[in-house]
Structure 1
């Protein structure tokens, strides 16, 4: 479990009615009932210090999953995409150095090429390689997943009923 404090609020008043530590690392609620329904179902949830533009979010009655993980999952996916992009850039750098070294050793394939032509050649060689295509695909997949989780978080936030102070409508 994480160490973050998640506040559970009454949807009518916005008053804090309880807290929990959030989902397990696997994303499941450790306090879910036998039927799988989370104890915060029908209430508002959010981190204690959450940005008021994003939190709290509504957990529909009968919900069986923790709803605070979409933002975290989006961030994790975007970070993974950045790591794949960094690996792709490192691979391109290695290929550029390799092509320059071959040109310096008078390899006939690169003889007479300018530095710019060597860079373009290295870029094309790297782009068409299997590792580069795999990294590009993995990066795109993580970005797509990140966008999906952000869309889910936005949809969840839009579905949150307004908090009525004092319980009056």
Structure 2
């Protein structure tokens, strides 16, 4: 987030009041005032050229946290969930290949199975493995986090005062 210019605007007029470069990598505001309140409290913030479906976000008065990264955290969690899903699929492909190789070597457990039966067997073997279960759990955890961050961002956007300028 630090590479973008963030515009801070008046909620009543939409006039540009200032800019910042967003939160530090740990999510902390680099411009926080001595009382702990962020300088954009009570104002609208958005990255320059931000998607109007998600921006601007209103920062409530007295806020002590940077609200800019909730949208980005939601997207990052979704990307991580998709990476887990892709790793799960690769694991299933490896297990399917392993079962097919065993059938080709005339393993008595698999030699009379059709291709469909081999795929189903591989799927069941893979699904019951601890690695597959861990990947599913991690994927679900990241999807849940993504929903949380997105709902926080939507709540923040919905709480914008009625007089704000789009």
TM-score, with length taken from structure 2: 0.95
Match for residue 56 of structure 1?
A: 56
Q: Confirm or deny: 8 A CA contact 1:100 1:118 kept in the other structure.
A: yes
Question: Tell me, which stretches of 5 or more residues in structure 1 are unaligned?
Answer: none
> What is the rounded CA distance, in whole Å, between the counterparts of 1:69 and 1:84 in structure 2?
22
Alpha-carbon distance between aligned partners in 2 of 1:96 and 1:82, rounded to the nearest angstrom: 21
Structure 1 residue 52, shift from structure 2 partner: 2.3
Indicate whether 1:115 and 2:115 are aligned. yes
Q: Is the 8 A contact 1:110 1:118 kept in 2?
A: yes
Q: Does 1:143 align with 2:156?
A: no
For the Cα contact (< 8 Å) 1:92–1:122, is it kept in 2?
A: yes
In 2, distance between residues paired with 1:162 and 1:16? Answer: 18
What is the DSSP-based 3-state SS (H/G/I as helix, E as strand, rest coil) of the residue aligned with 1:60? coil
1:10 deviates by 1.2
Judge conservation of contact 1:14–1:163 (CA < 8 Å) in 2. no
2:158 is matched with 158
Query: How far did 1:51 drift?
Result: 2.1
Q: 1:101 to 1:93 in 2, by over 3 A?
A: same
Query: Aligned pair count?
Result: 165
TM-score, scaled relative to structure 1? 0.93
Alignment partners' CA distance in 2, 1:99 and 1:52: 50
Aligned to 1:124: 124
- Between the aligned partners of 1:20 and 1:161, the Cα distance in structure 2 is 22
Deviation at 1:164, TM superposition (A): 5.5
Deviations 1:17-40 (A, max 9, x none): 000000111111001122221011
**In 2: Cα distance, 1:75 partner to 1:152 partner:** 13
Which SS does the other structure have where 1:12 is aligned?
coil
Q: How far off is 1:163 after superposition?
A: 4.1
Checking the alignment, whether the CA contact within 8 Å between 1:82 and 1:139 is kept in structure 2 is: yes
For the residue of structure 1 that corresponds to 2:17, the secondary structure is: strand
CA distance in 2, matches of 1:110, 1:164: 67
Separation of aligned partners in 1, 2:16 and 2:162 = 15
Unaligned runs of 5+ in 2: none
Cα distance in 2 for partners of 1:164, 1:132 equals 48
